[in-house]
Amino acid sequence: MDLENDADGSGAVLASDTHVVLWMLGAFVVTFAITRAITHLIRRGRGPFRDMSVGGVHLHHQVFGIFLLLGAGTVEFAYRPGSPWLEVLAVLFGVGAALTLDEFALWLRLDDVYWGPEGRRSVDAVLLAVLVGVMMLLGLSPFDQDTSDGEVVLGISIAVNVVFVLGAILKGRTVLAVTGLFVPLVAFVAVCRLARPGSMWARRWYAEGSRRRSRSRRRFPEGRRERWDALVDLFAGKPAAIDSATTAPPPPPGEETSRRTPA
């Protein structure tokens, strides 16, 4: 993104290079889809793909993603290249972000939970990242606000919206919170709505046996996380299948199966 002075030189207008965002988002989605396809093949013992290890240490694919993010970010900040290298960096950044977020649950839990129930959070993180990318393509930005009322008023409005976003996160309404970063009224609506029963807000303010606690449990029954659970199932497997896979007995000696993630 470039900052360009407005007509009278009194401020700055954020001009978004949507084609760069498109390259980054496209690389992100394609890399995530390919990575999940490969991990499913490795898990089933099909195809030529195998886990990568060096000196007996398994290399998760997030390692390569982290190096790609560091490299692409460093080159962009240090050299600010123009086209076509800008698009190349956008693709590399998208690839690195996909490889890293695909193992979000692993670096969040510090445990190899890729195929466990907690591993579904990785797909949640990826879908949230795609949501952010789509809103960027639409030209939405949390920092592109009207400054006609002065910078103080702008700063206060941004601060208030951040409070609403944090409130939505505390209520367990993560999708609405992320959307609220770009569309302020969404975060306000999320704060006004019912909290999820497992959220920090519900644990603090919804007493056991209270009407709000009962309403929250009816609204969000156990086992339901997000409206996009069916999409998460497509990439992470259905919860029942995950549970049976993680509790299955070990394979017989000599039979090579892998449930770990690929490099």
The percentage of the chain sitting over the pLDDT mark of 90, rounded to a whole number, equals 33
pLDDT of residue 86: 93
The mean pLDDT value for 99-117 works out to 87
Does any domain span residue 208? no
The mean pLDDT value for 146-160 works out to 74
171: Cα separation from own chain's centroid: 18
Does any domain span residue 130? yes
Does any domain span residue 148? no
Phi-psi region of 15 (alpha: psi -120 to 50; beta: other; left: phi over 0): beta
pLDDT of residue 263: 44
Q: Which residue has the tokens 């609403």?
A: 164
Judged by average pLDDT, the poorest of 10-19, 101-110, 135-144, 210-219 is 10-19
From CA 62, how far away is CA 79, in angstroms rounded?
25
SS3 state of residue 180: helix
Confidence check: pLDDT of 50 > 60:
yes
Q: Which residue has the tokens 């591993």?
A: 119
Does any domain span residue 96? yes
Report which of residues 193 and 259 the model is more confident about.
193
Q: Domain count of the chain?
A: 1
Mean of pLDDT over the chain: 80
The DSSP 8-state label assigned to residue 117 in this structure reads G
Question: What band does 89 get if pLDDT is binned at 50, 70 and 90?
Answer: very high
Confidence check: pLDDT of 38 > 80:
yes
pLDDT of residue 115: 86
From CA 193, how far away is CA 216, in angstroms rounded?
10
Does any domain span residue 247? yes
Report which of residues 103 and 222 the model is more confident about.
103
Confidence check: pLDDT of 121 > 90:
no
pLDDT of residue 117: 80
Does any domain span residue 45? yes
Residues 6+ apart with CB under 8 A from 39: 114, 261, 262
Does any domain span residue 22? yes
pLDDT of residue 21: 92
pLDDT of residue 15: 43
Confidence check: pLDDT of 18 > 90:
no
pLDDT tens-digit profile of 196-245?
988 899 999 999 888 999 999 888 887 666 666 777 777 877 765 555 55
Does any domain span residue 6? yes
Residue-number span of the structural domain to which 85 is assigned: 1-139+228-263
